[in-house]
C-alpha cells in the first residue's frame, strides 16, 4: 500500500517520512554528513530546494535530520511544517555560533536554555508582548544528563538569535557579554517560538565556531571534530526521548 503523500510546498515527503524527533542543522550538507556518518538504514526524505532531509536509525532509535537554512524565517518554515504536517514532537537544532565572552572559547558546546533576539517574530505571535523563548525542559534536562554521562563540558544559558549576520550594531556584542549571552546565532529564538505556538518540544545545541570579540575562528578540521561531539550529544539525547 502507498503511504499517504500530501507533502508541503517545502517538503516533498510522505506523511510518515519523518521520525518523531528531528535534528536540525542550518547547513543541509551537515544533515547529509550526520545521516551518512551516524545513522543506519537511511532514506532521503526531502530534496526540495536542496534542503536535504533524511530518516534512519541511531542505535535502533528511528530519527530524522534535515537542514533548516540560515535565519529565523527559513528555520521557522521547516519547523512549522515538521510539527503540523509531519507530527514531529522533538526538534533539536545542532548549529554553530559566535562567542562574545572571554569565558566562552572556540569548540565549546552551548545548550541554549533561552534565546534573546532582535527579530520581531515572537512579538508577532504574542500581541507585541515579550515572549520568553525557552528550551523545552525535558529535552534540556536529557541533554544536560547526557553531556554529563559523556563527561562533555557544556555551557548552559542564554544565547542571542540575530536577524543580521553582518550587524550594523557591533556595540551590542559588549552588551551581550555583560548580560551573560553565551553565543550568537540566527535561529534558536524563532525555533522556540514555533515550538510554543504549535505544541512541540525544542532545544538548541551550538558549537562555538568563531569568537567575535577575539576575532578567532576554528579551522575546518577542528570545526568538523567539534561538531561531531555536539552531534553525538544530540543523538544520544534524542535517543532518550
Ligand atoms: O551553522 P548554522 O546551524 O547554520 O548556524 C549559524 O551559522 C549561520 C551563519 O553563518 C546561521 O544559520 C547561524 O545560526
Ligand atoms: O550567526 C552567527 C553564527 C556564527 N557566528 C556568528 O558570529 N554569528
Neighbours of 94 (CB within 10 A): 24
- With the most atoms of ligand 2 within 8 angstroms of its CB, the residue from 25, 159, 163, 185 to mutate is 185
27 is known as an active-site residue: no
Half-sphere exposure of 240 (CA within 13 A, CB side): 17
130 secondary structure, DSSP code: P
Is the predicted pLDDT of residue 2 greater than 60, yes or no? no
CA distance 214 to 226: 19
73 lines ligand 1 (CB under 6 A): no
SS3 55: strand
4 with 20: CB under 8 angstroms?
no
Is the predicted pLDDT of residue 215 greater than 80, yes or no? yes
Decide if 78 is inside a domain.
yes
Q: Which ligand is nearest to the CA of 187?
A: 1
Q: What is the CATH number of the domain that holds 100?
A: 3.40.50.1580
Decide if 2 is inside a domain.
no
Nearest one of 167, 96, 121, 111 to 141, comparing CA atoms: 111
SS3 93: strand
Grid coordinates of 33? 554528513
Decide if 62 is inside a domain.
yes
What's the mean pLDDT in 64-82?
98
Give how many domains the chain has, as a whole number. Answer: 1
Which ligand 2 atom is the nearest neighbour of the CA of 162?
1
CA distance 221 to 30: 14
Which ligand 1 atom is the nearest neighbour of the CA of 187?
14
Q: What confidence tier does 224 reach under pLDDT thresholds 50, 70, 90? A: confident
Decide if 10 is inside a domain.
no
Domain range holding 44? Answer: 21-240
Decide if 174 is inside a domain.
yes
Q: What confidence tier does 222 reach under pLDDT thresholds 50, 70, 90? A: confident
pLDDT at 223: 78
CA distance 144 to 56: 24
ipTM over 0.90: yes
49 secondary structure, DSSP code: G
pLDDT more than 70, % of the chain = 98
- Beta strand extents in 67-200 (DSSP E only): 90-99, 109-117, 154-161, 183-185
For 123, phi then psi, to 5°, come to -70, -35
Q: Which helix (H) or strand (E) holds 57?
A: strand 53-58
Q: What confidence tier does 111 reach under pLDDT thresholds 50, 70, 90? A: very high
Please tell me the residue having the least CA distance from ligand 2 atom 5: 98
What's the mean pLDDT in 110-115?
98
What's the mean pLDDT in 142-158?
98
Q: What confidence tier does 123 reach under pLDDT thresholds 50, 70, 90? A: very high
What's the mean pLDDT in 155-175?
97
Decide if 166 is inside a domain.
yes
pLDDT more than 90, % of the chain = 94
Decide if 11 is inside a domain.
no
CA distance 57 to 137: 25
CA-CA-CA-CA torsion for 123, 7, 138, 70, nearest 10 degrees?
A: -50
pLDDT at 3: 59
Decide if 39 is inside a domain.
yes
Q: What angle do CA 192, 197, 199 make, to 5 degrees?
A: 90
Beta bridge partners of 65: 23, 54
Amino acid at each position: 500500500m502507498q503511504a499517504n503523500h500530501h507533502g508541503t510546498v517545502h517538503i516533498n515527503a510522505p506523511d510518515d517520512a519523518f521520525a518523531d524527533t528531528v535534528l536540525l542543522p542550518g547547513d543541509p550538507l551537515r544533515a547529509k554528513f550526520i545521516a551518512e556518518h551516524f545513522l543506519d538504514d537511511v532514506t532521503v526524505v526531502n530534496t526540495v530546494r536542496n534542503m536535504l532531509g533524511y530518516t534512519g536509525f541511531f542505535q535502533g532509535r528511528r530519527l530524522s535530520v534535515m537542514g533548516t537554512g540560515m535565519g529565523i524565517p527559513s528555520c521557522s518554515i521547516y519547523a512549522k511544517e515538521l510539527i503540523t504536517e509531519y507530527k514531529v514532537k522533538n526538534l533539536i537544532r545542532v548549529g554553530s555560533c559566535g562567542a562574545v565572552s572571554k569565558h566562552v572559547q572556540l569548540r565549546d558546546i552551548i545548550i541554549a536554555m533561552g534565546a534573546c533576539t532582535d527579530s520581531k517574530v515572537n512579538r508577532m505571535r504574542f500581541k507585541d508582548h515579550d515572549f520568553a523563548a525557552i528550551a523545552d525542559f525535558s529535552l534540556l534536562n536529557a541533554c544536560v544528563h547526557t553531556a554529563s554521562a559523556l563527561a562533555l563540558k557544556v555551557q548552559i544559558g542564554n544565547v542571542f538569535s540575530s536577524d543580521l549576520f553582518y550587524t550594523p550594531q557591533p556595540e551590542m556584542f559588549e552588551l551581550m557579554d555583560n548580560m551573560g549571552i553565551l553565543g550568537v546565532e540566527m535561529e534558536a529564538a524563532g525555533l522556540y517560538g514555533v515550538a510554543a505556538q504549535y505544541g512541540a518540544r525544542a532545544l538548541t545545541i551550538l558549537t562555538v565556531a568563531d569568537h567575535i570579540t577575539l576575532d578567532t575562528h576554528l579551522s575546518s578540521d577542528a570545526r568538523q571534530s567539534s561538531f561531531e561531539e555536539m552531534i553525538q550529544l544530540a543523538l544520544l539525547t534524542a535517543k532518550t526521548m
